[in-house]
Structure 1
Amino acid sequence: MPKKQTYADLGDACATAHAMDVIGDRWSMVIARELLLGPRRFADLASAVVGITPAVLTSRLKALREAGVVEQAQLDDLGRTRVYRLTEWGQGLEDVMRSLGRWAQGSPGFPVPEGSMTPDGVIVAMRTMAPYATMPEWGDGPVRIAIELHDERRPAAGVRRYRLHWDADRFELTEGADEAPEATVSGDSSAWAGVVFAGAPTGSVGIEGDRRAVERVAAAYAAIA
């Protein structure tokens, strides 16, 4: 197969053109999205990037590694599991996704057709949109909730856990369990996306603990819709 010509090969020295050479291929940004929260195995990515074939995933990961966006690593577990993760430079794509998400909201075709979101996809979307949201009623104090999501399309993938700490000066939404949350949200990732981004009732997901804390989060995101 002949080598694909880049914009640089064609004489275009624009930095934006170079960025498109790096992450402009189909699937590349989606792969990066699924790596933003932490390292993932090849099998994790193959399951989460819905529609991609193993051969194409292998090809995209190779290209992203060669470009310096992704690197391979080994976890410190007994099996020394091999994983893929974003490089420090690759982590900068979260800012790109934030800008693209805001830009897409102004699209004549927005909202996009109905579909589903992976657990990591929903959490990344919450992270990238959060700086534009103002939490209502800070007089009620900070919010600390645990979020446990699964993807009904991929039951074998299991549950992913995240923790949200949000107060007037800080927004932190990261992967991992929370030992002392005010409330715990659990359910299908797309149902939670509906609550956060489409105004669906909080009753569409399971909530243990302070329901008001979850409602405040939903109200904050509704304010940016």
Structure 2
Amino acid sequence: MSERSYADECGAALALDAVGERWALLIVRELMFGPKRFADLRSGLPQASQNVLSQRLKELEGAGVIQRVKLGPPARAQVYELTSAGVALEPAVVALAQWGARLDVHHGSKMSADSLALLLKALYRPAGPSTVSVALQLGDDQFAIHLDSDAIQIKRGAAQEPDAVLRGTVQSWWDVLFGSVGVEASLDTGAIEITGDRAAADQFLESFPAPGVFTGTGSLVDRAAG
């Protein structure tokens, strides 16, 4: 817990005492889909200094949100992972991502692979009744994604026997899924690559409709109209 406190017994205030400092919830985001080494966290949060990141990790560990574990051979590395309490924050983080995706604010900064994965989780709307498994490969980052009519499951790591494999950069897939670049155009330029069952890939691609956008008066309108 941070040394600063709201000194308020409201559950929301107590939660903010634990995870309300800058970078804290983004650390939770980076660990939502699997453990990470300190260096990987730095890569996903490049604007956080090493000292600040170390301090936030210490605070989150003290609050019981994350823990350090040592991987066995051959890795033999120390990683950070969410505790049960940290995992319980997932609905709140997803809800924040859903709300934030509707803000008409853009900084022009790069997204981490986990940022894109969170956005997929936040904006998922089933596009069909079929169960689909895809592997999303974003450079060195890989995610196994399982879709069904009720939910989307995303885990960091290689997918086992996926229906389709999608490759590209974080930016190229953001452009396809949430921007104005078409799938076929991106395939033609080589910005993305799709192998395997194209019907399964298409169902995946159709499962993330662009969110509405809040206007200056706070009303929610279709993004194209906004």
Shared topology, TM-score over 0.5?
yes
Is 1:148 the equivalent of 2:105? Answer: no
* 1:129 alignment counterpart: 123
Q: C-alpha displacement at 1:65, in angstroms?
A: 0.6
* 1:154 alignment counterpart: none
Match of 1:187 among 150, 168, 172: 168
Query: Is the Cα–Cα contact under 8 Å of residues 133 and 144 in structure 2 kept in the other structure?
Result: yes
Q: Where does 1:109-124 land on structure 2 (aligned, <5 Å)?
A: 110-124=104-118
* 1:5 alignment counterpart: 4
The verdict on how the C-alpha distance between 1:112 and 1:73 changes in structure 2, with shifts beyond 3 A counting, is same
Give 3-state SS (helix, strand or coil) of 2:59's partner: helix
Is 1:99 the equivalent of 2:91? Answer: no
Q: Distance in 1 between matches of 2:66 and 2:29?
A: 12
The verdict on how the C-alpha distance between 1:224 and 1:62 changes in structure 2, with shifts beyond 3 A counting, is same
The farther-off stretch of 19-28 and 167-176 is 167-176
Q: Distance in 1 between matches of 2:203 and 2:180?
A: 12
Q: Distance in 2 between matches of 1:46 and 1:168?
A: 35
1:94 counterpart letter in structure 2: E
Query: Is the Cα–Cα contact under 8 Å of residues 199 and 222 in structure 1 kept in the other structure?
Result: no
Deviations 1:142-182 (A, max 9, x none): 322211012xxxxxxxx121122223345322222224222
Match of 2:141 among 160, 167, 172: 160
Give 3-state SS (helix, strand or coil) of 2:208's partner: helix
Larger relative helix fraction:
1
Is 1:175 the equivalent of 2:156? Answer: yes
Deviations 1:82-128 (A, max 9, x none): 11111110111210112112222444xx2534332111221122123
Q: Where does 1:14-93 land on structure 2 (aligned, <5 Å)?
A: 14-93=10-89
Aligned-residue sequence identity (percent) comes to 31
- Structure 2 residue ranges without an equivalent (≥5): 213-226
Q: Distance in 1 between matches of 2:45 and 2:16?
A: 20
Q: Distance in 2 between matches of 1:167 and 1:67?
A: 34
Q: C-alpha displacement at 1:224, in angstroms?
A: 4.9
* 2:205 alignment counterpart: 218
Query: Is the Cα–Cα contact under 8 Å of residues 199 and 218 in structure 1 kept in the other structure?
Result: no
2:6 counterpart letter in structure 1: Y
Q: C-alpha displacement at 1:184, in angstroms?
A: 0.9
Query: Is the Cα–Cα contact under 8 Å of residues 102 and 211 in structure 2 kept in the other structure?
Result: no
Q: C-alpha displacement at 1:53, in angstroms?
A: 1.2
* 1:155 alignment counterpart: none
Deviations 1:42-80 (A, max 9, x none): 111111112111111111100111111111111122353
Give 3-state SS (helix, strand or coil) of 1:38's partner: coil
Give 3-state SS (helix, strand or coil) of 2:166's partner: strand
* 1:153 alignment counterpart: none
Match of 1:196 among 172, 177, 200: 177
